[in-house]
Amino acid sequence: MRLGDDVASLAAAHPPPPPYITARALLSTVEFGIRVMLAFSILVAALWPALVVADVQSLSGLAWTLKNADGSIVVPAKVPSQAHLDLLDAGIITEPLLGINDFSQRWIINDNWTYTADLTPLTQNMSADARALLVFFGIDTIANITVAGYPVAWVSNQFQQYVYDVTDFVVAPVNDDTNVTVALESAYLYGLNVTARPDAEISPTGDFEYAGIRQFIRKTQSDFGWDWGPAFVPSGIFKPAYLVTLTPSRPHVAEESTSSDAEPASHPLLASGGSVLVEETSLEISKVGQTSISTPNQTADWLVNVTLGVRSVVGSDYPTLTITIPELNVTSGPLPVDPIPVSTNTTTFLSAAFTIPDGVPARWFPHNLGTPQLYNFTIALALSNASAPGSLVSFTTRSGFRTVQLVQTPYDADEAAARGITPGDQWHFEVNGRAFYTLGTNIIPFDPFYARMTSAQVRWVLESAVKSGQNMLRVWGGGIYQPSDELTGGYDFYATCDELGIFAWSELIFSDALYPINDWLLASVAPEVRQNVRRINRHPSNAQWAGGNEIEGIVITVNQTLANGTHYLDEFQTLFGEFLHDIVTEEESSVAYTDCSTTSGVLSLDPYEIRYDNKTEGFIYGNGERYNYDASQAFNYSTYPRSRFMNEFGFHSQPSFYSWEEVLESPDDFSFNSTVVASRDHHPPAGSLTFPNPNAPQGQAQMTTAVELWLPTPNTTDTNQTFAQWCWSTQVFQSLNMVSEIAFYRRGAGEGENNLGALVWQLNDIWQGASWSSIEHSGRWKVLHYGMADIFHPIVIYPFWTPDNETLEIVVTSDRWEDVQGAAALTWYDWSGNFIDSSTLPFTVPSLNNTLILAIQELDNIIPTNHNATDVWLYLNITAQAENRTVTHEQYFTPVSLATANLVDPKINVTTGANLTFTLSAQGGVAPFTWLDHPAGTVGFFADSETGLPSNGFFLVPGIDRTVQFIPNPELSTVTDPDPADFVVRSLWNNTHL
């Protein structure tokens, strides 16, 4: 109900958007989840040292135009941007995420788009001896670049950065052409042309929307469609771009500055200018003697290794690098590096390293295991003559000291026997020499249009992950290499992970297909991988590199089922078992490489040999995933894999009514199976451009069946309320299912599988539609996110119910590094809220283990005497001491499905307090999954007023009030002072009652 109103009035209070909304009006609303990115030139100006502007100039300040192939559309444009976004700003199209625009705007994909701007404002004051370097940090994707009428390059890799010396073109333009032009070819049409070649090898696997072409294009794979998102196949100069001028006769900026201005630059790019461009930077911290496959010696010295890729107009025979950590009062002193030639057309790599005693720095830990300690590193490149012009380049970057190891070796036989571990190989992570339980999710691209994402939006998603107890995010291999900072990547990802203390499992961009091996592909992929591995090396949050997503299992199946299957297996081995493995391990030595996200592990690490299907029956290898859309099996533990590590598992749900308001254009669309709603269900995918997705009824039916089996079926006299409750109920089921699986996998830490990892699919949404996410596109938390915040608690209690033999096992699980002691209270209630019975059980849980505190068989022995299973439920609560603090956790057990439980009208009363606090009281019966929604235009989460922990979707019991506070994100909320009356409360009772 609305506070002071009812659920049905929610839709009336927030009617759907009109059929046409201007770009300005639409993008100004936070409930749409999209903020207009601040003009990049403003950002640059805010960060720029005073005298660097003359040397490093952003192309975002130029007057860009965008036109299509035949010139019928010519509009102002931006950089960074993508064609859809500039067409939106010009009023040519409406917001791409509205309605069925993913279908109606396909014409944009089928056209070629050209970006053009006059370079004169950046080149008119160049000195005669200056060199002008054009720097693109990302072009999406197939493009011809011309400058002043001269062809510069043809590019075809979205994931590479490009640098070109364009001096000779700028000083002698053709026919007074002073423009920089990036002519983009339709990636779709390019893919059709490539696959039409007689020598093109087509993958024998299925696909999503734009089928069969993405394997040939080094571009975000999900741009061509996926089962959780649209296929806009965008194009544009999607990351920042710059013109850097180098002048041998002019001193470096630091030498021209006053003493107060002579501080190191805050970024390698900002240190460029004078005579040197710092094109690439790698800072890797490891233990002396450590490799990507070895166990780090925890008492060994730290090895700090720095590599710079530079271009220079001044040669140097005896340059040096100096690495300083001011907080530690540590410096390397000048370290000699290779000579620097005069070259602006090729990159010279300079490497230097020094050691630091183990005990000097504090270590970086994920947030739930310690402090994510970071330090400032100042890196100074000095040319051979310290008094010569352009003799010093200096910048500061941040990193931390940690070891992270992916343990993949066989268990010691004696240890396995003593601990009751099923034979096979290990597969888990260790941080700073200690095994830990990995809790987290998988991330996908944050929006179909990368160029409009902001650091604030991404930070909210990452902060939300941390608030829910996650310590690792898997950067899915079908998306994009996530950026390190705004200046080069448009928004910040890895540096925020470093700061917040959450690991990022990184992947190369290959996903769910078999990739043909040819010289062109390998030549394009090699610099892509090297550039990204070098860049990400400095981030202590990086946990490993995987070669791609889910491909190993695909190629094993193809090898077993197709007559020429060995051909595809050989290609996979060449690409993922050799080529990519060798590149990654050449560029880093501090994290592991695995061939694939889901893998059977290895036969050997040295030499690297993938296990494939070479398995001994009864042994456990590698990691696993689970997707079972038969909702009747959602809580059947025998269908859950017994794996060392679960890197993917999930079930889909609908976004909230609020998210649907952002994109539905007609009142008729607000129905669970309306054409527009169903068209956004891409599971299973169409496998073609057929619209709407002919397979959507399968996905819709899976969600429908799940709700009908396990929850009261939504059906009221108000159609909008019914739709809202249907959407919310799919989220409730999703949370119930995922919480059950997480509890099972966490319990596995103390079972034969010795499971030490659970990563839910998935964290974020790319648009408003059916998906596996726990956070909606706008940043609104789904029920699952609160469910994960609860079950990712360090110490949890959970009731494992097996209906086949009517067995209830109550287990306490801990992921702490020390033994935990406490007490569990088990309390029976009926649905009217009457207390029936209670008991208290003490427990001790060993480190990274579980303890069975109660096991009962037969339902008659489980439920209280003289009560029916449909009338009662069990409240489980623990209090424990861990790390010198008191920890509590609660769970619920219902002996029957909530679809058949005899629920009672809870008559929820809400009392509002200061600072958006809400006290909820059940005046009638128990309200399972009591839920608060914050209004449109707000972004934030609900927290328990006493613990400060996320709290929503709880059982509200008469006589036991709950007080929660809404904690807003003021940077993302457009409604900064929401009216408490606009908050909505609902429970399962509202599925069938107004």
Q: Which residue has the higher pLDDT, 530 or 21?
A: 530
Instruction: Say if CB 60 and CB 240 are below 8 A apart.
Output: yes
pLDDT at site 19? 30
Element of type H or E holding 284: strand 276-287
pLDDT in tens, 464-515: 999 999 999 999 999 999 999 999 999 999 999 999 999 999 999 999 999 9
CATH 2.60.40.10 residue ranges for the chain: 247-402, 793-893, 904-991
Q: Is the pLDDT of residue 146 over 70?
A: yes
Domain range 904-991, CATH architecture: Sandwich (2.60)
DSSP 519-565: HHHHHHHHHHHHHHHHHHTT-TTEEEEES-BSHHHHHHHHHHHSTTH
Q: What does the alpha-carbon distance between residue 550 and residue 205 come to, in Å, rounded to a whole number?
A: 12
DSSP 460-496: HHHHHHHHTT--EEEE-TTS-PPPS-HHHHSS-SHHH
Q: Residue 23's pLDDT band (boundaries 50, 70, 90)?
A: very low
Cis, bond preceding 531 (omega within 30 deg of 0): no
Contacts with 500 (C-beta within 8 Å, 6 or more apart), sequence order: 367, 372, 462, 463, 466
Q: What does the alpha-carbon distance between residue 595 and residue 597 come to, in Å, rounded to a whole number?
A: 7
For all residues of the chain together, what is the average pLDDT? 92
pLDDT at site 31? 32
pLDDT in tens, 783-798: 999 999 999 999 999 9
Q: What does the alpha-carbon distance between residue 441 and residue 761 come to, in Å, rounded to a whole number?
A: 6
Fold of 793-893: Immunoglobulin-like (2.60.40)
DSSP 78-96: -SS--HHHHHHHTTSS--T
For a pLDDT cut of 90, what percent of the chain falls above it? 90
How many of the other CB atoms lie within 10 Å of CB of 823?
14
Nearest of 508, 578, 509 to residue 224 by alpha carbon: 509
Residue 405's SS3 state is strand
Task: Give the CATH H-level superfamily of domain 33-242.
Answer: Galactose-binding domain-like (2.60.120.260)
pLDDT at site 756? 98
pLDDT in tens, 398-432: 999 999 999 999 999 998 999 999 999 999 999 99
pLDDT at site 385? 54
Q: In this structure, what token pair is assigned to residue 605? A: 């690490």
Euclidean distance between the first and final Cα of the chain, in Å? 8
pLDDT at site 274? 86
Q: What does the alpha-carbon distance between residue 299 and residue 13 come to, in Å, rounded to a whole number?
A: 63
Residue 739 CA: distances (Å) to CA of 520, 660, 828: 45, 25, 21
> What are the strands of the beta sheet with 927-933, ordered from one edge?
954-956, 927-933, 984-986
Q: In this structure, what token pair is assigned to residue 80? A: 């960074």
Instruction: Say if CB 850 and CB 814 are below 8 A apart.
Output: yes
Q: In this structure, what token pair is assigned to residue 726? A: 């249907």
pLDDT at site 262? 64
Q: Scan for tokens 């352009």, then name that residue.
A: 390
Residue 795's SS3 state is strand
pLDDT at site 253? 44
Q: Is the pLDDT of residue 10 over 70?
A: no
Instruction: Say if CB 485 and CB 267 are below 8 A apart.
Output: yes
The answer to whether 586 is a known catalytic residue is: no
Q: Is the pLDDT of residue 45 over 70?
A: no
Contacts with 510 (C-beta within 8 Å, 6 or more apart), sequence order: 221, 477, 547, 548, 549, 551, 575, 576
- Structure letter (DSSP) for residue 695: T
Q: Which residues of 760-796 are buried (b: 16+ CB within 10 A; e: fewer)?
A: bbbbbbbbbbbbbbbbbbbbbbbbbbbbbbbbbbbbb
Longest CA span, the chain: 97
pLDDT in tens, 840-890: 999 999 999 999 999 999 999 999 999 999 999 999 999 999 888 899 999
Q: Residue 52's pLDDT band (boundaries 50, 70, 90)?
A: very low
pLDDT in tens, 601-630: 999 999 999 999 999 999 999 999 999 999
pLDDT at site 29? 32
CATH number of the structural domain 247-402 = 2.60.40.10
Q: Which residue has the higher pLDDT, 37 or 761?
A: 761
Q: What does the alpha-carbon distance between residue 465 and residue 460 come to, in Å, rounded to a whole number?
A: 9
Q: In this structure, what token pair is assigned to residue 954? A: 């709880």
Q: Scan for tokens 């990691």, then name that residue.
A: 623
Instruction: Say if CB 904 and CB 873 are below 8 A apart.
Output: no
Q: What's the half-sphere exposure (Cβ side, CA atoms, 13 Å) at 381?
A: 35
Please calculate the CA angle 196-201-203 and round it to the nearest 5 degrees.
Answer: 110
Nearest of 418, 510, 410, 430 to residue 471 by alpha carbon: 430
Name residue 619's amino acid. Answer: F
Q: In this structure, what token pair is assigned to residue 736? A: 């119930």
**Where are any strands of DSSP class E within 337-374?**
343-356
Q: Residue 273's pLDDT band (boundaries 50, 70, 90)?
A: confident
Q: Where are the alpha helices (DSSP H) in 683-836?
A: 696-710, 719-747, 783-791
Q: What does the alpha-carbon distance between residue 609 and residue 618 come to, in Å, rounded to a whole number?
A: 21
Nearest of 471, 458, 429 to residue 788 by alpha carbon: 471
Q: Is the pLDDT of residue 149 over 50?
A: yes
Choose, from 31, 279, 550, 662, the residue flagged as catalytic.
Answer: 550
pLDDT in tens, 305-360: 999 999 999 999 999 999 999 999 999 999 999 999 999 999 999 999 999 999 99
Q: In this structure, what token pair is assigned to residue 404? A: 């992270």
Residue 967's SS3 state is strand
Residue 74 CA: distances (Å) to CA of 85, 270, 495, 911: 14, 34, 38, 56
- CA torsion sign for 19, 20, 24, 27 is positive
Residue 733's SS3 state is helix
Name residue 941's amino acid. Answer: F
pLDDT in tens, 548-594: 999 999 999 999 999 999 999 999 999 999 999 999 999 999 999 99
Q: What does the alpha-carbon distance between residue 895 and residue 611 come to, in Å, rounded to a whole number?
A: 43
Q: What does the alpha-carbon distance between residue 584 and residue 17 come to, in Å, rounded to a whole number?
A: 48
Contacts with 690 (C-beta within 8 Å, 6 or more apart), sequence order: none
- Structure letter (DSSP) for residue 948: -
CATH 2.60.120.260 residue ranges for the chain: 33-242
Q: What does the alpha-carbon distance between residue 420 and residue 423 come to, in Å, rounded to a whole number?
A: 9
